């Protein structure tokens, strides 16, 4: 296939007194001839075909090819992101309806148990750290701790599915220590620092397994 550039210069005869018009016509003719590209000749035993393309069409084709490549890449990336988003949504829905949950150590336990046990750790710790001199705040944190402990014991005390778990054992020990002290000293007695420290240690140990 041969490539022939038809660059014929077509110059119209000059007209007296119209040099500017002559120059303009010559320029237009040159531009027309420049963008006419005769691409190849295809011969066969029965026919001969010449392919003639306008220069503008060739550049348009090149431009479209260059643009289509990044568009395909962007479409593939978008599809990948959408697929990951779909997986994330499906995982979130599955987790929402799953009755179990993994602990910090990767053990699978009932989600309701973990929520209740964590609430006991949180509220009881806050109550023990609260300044008893601030009576209103101390009572508020103490009431929250009592409520969470009551809920925890009512739902999980003696449950075989969790009774042997380290978190259960540690929480039971902390609650027993608290109950044993108040049963002897009375409900209004200030909690000694030694007893408070032991209970806080048990809560910290329980939290590691939740």
User: Exposed, middle or buried by CB within 10 Å (0-12, 13-18, 19+), for 120?
Assistant: buried
Tell me if residue 4 falls in helix, strand or coil.
strand
Same domain as 136, residue 86: no
> What pLDDT does residue 206 have?
97
Instruction: Please identify which residue in the block is written with the tokens 């009774």.
Output: 163
Same domain as 63, residue 126: no
> What pLDDT does residue 35 have?
46
Strand partners, 49: 42
Same domain as 90, residue 105: no
Q: Which two tokens stand for residue 175?
A: 């609650």
Give the end of a domain, one of 49, 68, 97.
97
Give the end of a domain, one of 68, 97, 126.
97
Q: Which two tokens stand for residue 79?
A: 């599809």
Query: Structural domain tally of the chain?
Result: 2
pTM above 0.75, yes or no: no
Same domain as 130, residue 81: no
Domain span at residue 146 reads 100-208
Q: Is residue 39 a contact partner of residue 53, using CB atoms and an 8 Å limit?
A: yes
Same domain as 144, residue 120: yes
Same domain as 93, residue 14: yes
Same domain as 162, residue 79: no
How many Cβ atoms are within 10 Å of 174's Cβ, its own excluded?
A: 25
Same domain as 18, residue 112: no
Q: Is residue 206 a contact partner of residue 166, using CB atoms and an 8 Å limit?
A: yes
> What pLDDT does residue 49 have?
43
The enclosing domain of 161 has a CATH number of: 1.20.58.810
3-class secondary structure for 129-160?
Answer: HCCCCCHHHHHHHHHHHHHHHHHHHHHHCCCC
> What pLDDT does residue 33 have?
45
Q: How far, CA to CA in Å, does 116 sit from each of 95, 103, 146, 176?
A: 18, 13, 13, 17
Same domain as 114, residue 78: no
Same domain as 106, residue 93: no
Same domain as 124, residue 202: yes
> What pLDDT does residue 107 have?
93
Residue stretches of the chain with pLDDT short of 50: 1-19, 21-22, 25, 29-56, 58-59, 61-62, 64
Q: Which two tokens stand for residue 75?
A: 């479409």
């Amino acid at each position: 296939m041969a490539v022939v550039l038809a660059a014929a210069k077509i110059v119209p005869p000059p007209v007296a007194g119209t040099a500017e018009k002559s120059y303009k016509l010559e320029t237009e003719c040159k531009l027309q001839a420049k963008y006419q590209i005769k691409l190849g000749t295809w011969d066969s035993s029965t026919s001969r075909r010449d392919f003639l393309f306008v220069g503008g069409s060739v550049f348009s084709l090149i431009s479209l090819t260059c643009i289509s490549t990044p568009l395909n890449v962007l479409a593939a990336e978008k599809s990948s992101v959408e697929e990951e988003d779909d997986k994330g949504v499906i995982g979130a829905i599955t987790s929402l309806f799953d009755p179990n949950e993994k602990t910090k150590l990767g053990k699978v336990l009932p989600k309701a148990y973990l929520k209740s046990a964590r609430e006991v750790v949180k509220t009881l710790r806050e109550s023990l750290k609260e300044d008893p001199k601030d009576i209103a705040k101390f009572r508020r944190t103490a009431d929250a701790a009592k409520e969470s402990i009551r809920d925890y014991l009512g739902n999980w005390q003696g449950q075989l599915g969790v009774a042997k778990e380290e978190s259960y054992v540690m929480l039971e020990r902390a609650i027993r220590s608290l109950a044993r002290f108040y049963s002897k000293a009375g409900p209004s007695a200030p909690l000694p620092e030694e007893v408070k420290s032991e209970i806080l240690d048990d809560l910290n140990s329980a939290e590691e397994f939740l």
